[in-house]
């Protein structure tokens, strides 16, 4: 393990960061700041005589996937897209293994995260067109993938089993707290919802098109803005082939969700989709199908509770609260949501 120390109340990994800086030719580390955003990896901003850099301890993917991601981002950056290109060690690698962990480095990009409510309709549209250009860029630089693919929707019976298991865990937890009470109440409602909408499970035996390489987590914490322009799209760890409409719809819910019972900003969702379709063809049928599939996934999904009850990790409790709020609103407003994801507000 790397040696950790505490500076100004923040944990740093001094030995590892020094070794990474040396391997990537950055010079002596003069200042370190922990980047708290993000759940999966560890990130630092470091200052050296050569400038400022982002160092990531890669935890969410293995080295093979990380190098594939770096090949994609390097090619996208070379093509003029706002994507930080990974730096290389003296040996030409984009990763350094140190004390059993792997690290990557990129130039530091200045900018601010802006959630969907802070964007004008024009900016929401530009974000959609940027996503389309990234999809096109990925198709040009990544290995070919099938133009259509299958995605298996969740089984209602499996979802109910998980609901029952987590409800039991919440009821037996000692000492229980307000979150456990919230979980019990919402899982009771989720059982009822599953019973009511089980017949709406999406079609399984069908190929979904168009498909291609996608970013995988295109949301506001992975987009940096300078004034009204996007400075960088970050965190490509979930790069993979998927139906393109699935990424558009998922991104729309993450970018323009309120996090509470107000649901989605449908005007900005429509602008985002319209912006995307100004760059790429994506028809109403594909978008409506993707919206339906993601809604069904939310009906069945309980991943945040796996973190809480299986791993004693409460870092995603707030995401369960916001997800439940969105699911209730979405279920009550399905026709309007479908229309927005087809570009009609």
Lowest mean pLDDT of 11-15, 67-71, 211-215, name the range: 11-15
Lowest mean pLDDT of 5-19, 58-72, 226-240, 252-266, name the range: 5-19
Residues 102-106 have a mean pLDDT of: 97
User: Which segments of 68-122 are extended strands (E)?
Assistant: 96-98, 101-107
Q: CB neighbours of 147 closer than 8 A, spacing ≥ 6?
A: 209, 210, 211, 212
Residue intervals of the chain classified under CATH 3.90.1200.10 are 116-152+188-341
**Which of the four pLDDT bands, split at 50, 70 and 90, describes residue 310?**
very high
Spatial distance between the Cα atoms of 126 and 230, rounded to a whole number of angstroms: 9
Measured on CA atoms in the order 62, 68, 69, 74, is the torsion positive or negative? positive
**Which of the four pLDDT bands, split at 50, 70 and 90, describes residue 6?**
very low
Residue 267 DSSP one-character state: H
Residues 149-173 have a mean pLDDT of: 97
- Architecture of the domain made up of 5-107: 2-Layer Sandwich (3.30)
User: Residue 9, exposed/middle/buried by CB under 10 A (0-12, 13-18, 19+)?
Assistant: exposed
**Which of the four pLDDT bands, split at 50, 70 and 90, describes residue 38?**
low
Is the pLDDT reported for residue 331 higher than 70? yes
Higher pLDDT, 288 or 345: 288
Whole-model pTM?
A: 0.93
pLDDT tens, residue by residue, 211-257: 999 999 999 999 999 988 999 999 999 999 999 999 999 999 999 99
Query: Is the Cβ–Cβ distance between 97 and 20 less than 8 Å?
Result: no
Query: Is the Cβ–Cβ distance between 340 and 270 less than 8 Å?
Result: yes
Higher pLDDT, 152 or 6: 152
Spatial distance between the Cα atoms of 321 and 295, rounded to a whole number of angstroms: 16
**Which of the four pLDDT bands, split at 50, 70 and 90, describes residue 9?**
very low
**Which of the four pLDDT bands, split at 50, 70 and 90, describes residue 188?**
very high
Percentage of the chain surpassing pLDDT 70?
Answer: 95
Buried b (16+ CB within 10 A) or exposed e, 96-129: bebeebbbbbbebbebeebbbeebebebbbbbbb
Please give the C-alpha separations between residue 136 and each of 130, 204, 213, 234, 252, in angstroms, as whole numbers: 10, 27, 9, 17, 19
Residue intervals of the chain classified under CATH 3.30.200.20 are 5-107
pLDDT tens, residue by residue, 262-278: 999 999 999 999 999 99
Cα angle vertex 173, ends 172, 176, to 5°?
A: 115
Query: Is the Cβ–Cβ distance between 117 and 225 less than 8 Å?
Result: no
How many C-beta atoms surround the C-beta of residue 342 within 10 A? 19
Is the pLDDT reported for residue 36 higher than 90? no
pLDDT for residue 14: 75
* Nearest C-alpha neighbor of 106 from the set 147, 155, 70: 70
DSSP code string of 306-342? IIIIIH---TTHHHHHHHHHHHHHHHHTHHHHHHHHT
pLDDT for residue 48: 97
Residue 34, strand partner residues: 44
* Nearest C-alpha neighbor of 330 from the set 265, 246, 248: 265
116-152+188-341 — its CATH code? 3.90.1200.10
């Amino acid at each position: 393990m790397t040696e950790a120390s505490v500076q100004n109340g923040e944990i740093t990994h001094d030995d590892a960061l020094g070794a990474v800086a040396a391997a990537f030719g950055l010079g002596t580390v003069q200042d370190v700041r922990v980047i708290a955003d993000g759940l999966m990896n560890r990130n630092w901003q470091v200052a050296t005589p050569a400038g400022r850099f982002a160092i990531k301890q890669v935890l969410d993917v293995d080295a093979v996937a990380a190098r594939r991601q770096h090949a994609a981002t390097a090619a996208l950056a070379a093509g003029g897209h706002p994507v930080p290109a990974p730096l290389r060690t003296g040996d030409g690698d984009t990763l350094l293994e140190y004390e059993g962990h792997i690290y990557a480095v990129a130039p530091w990009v200045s900018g601010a995260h802006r959630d969907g409510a802070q964007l004008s309709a024009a900016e929401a549209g530009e974000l959609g067109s940027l996503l389309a250009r990234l999809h096109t860029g990925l198709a040009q630089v990544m290995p070919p993938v099938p133009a259509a693919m299958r995605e298996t929707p969740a089984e209602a019976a499996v979802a109910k089993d998980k609901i029952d298991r987590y409800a039991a865990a919440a009821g037996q937890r000692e000492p229980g707290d307000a979150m456990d009470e919230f979980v019990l109440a919402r899982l009771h409602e989720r059982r009822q919802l599953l019973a009511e909408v089980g017949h709406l499970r999406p079609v399984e035996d069908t190929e979904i098109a168009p498909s291609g390489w996608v970013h995988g987590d295109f949301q506001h914490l992975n987009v940096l803005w300078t004034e009204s322009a996007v400075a960088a799209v970050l965190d490509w760890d979930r790069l993979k082939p998927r139906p393109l409409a699935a990424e558009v719809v998922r991104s729309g819910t993450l970018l323009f969700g309120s996090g509470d019972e107000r649901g989605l900003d449908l005007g900005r969702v429509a602008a985002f989709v319209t912006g995307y379709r100004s760059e790429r063809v994506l028809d109403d049928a594909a978008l409506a199908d993707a919206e339906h599939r993601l809604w069904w996934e939310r009906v069945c999904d309980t991943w945040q509770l796996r973190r809480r009850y299986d791993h004693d990790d409460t870092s995603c409790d707030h995401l369960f609260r916001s997800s439940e709020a969105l699911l209730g609103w979405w279920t009550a407003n399905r026709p309007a949501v479908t229309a927005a994801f087809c570009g009609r507000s």
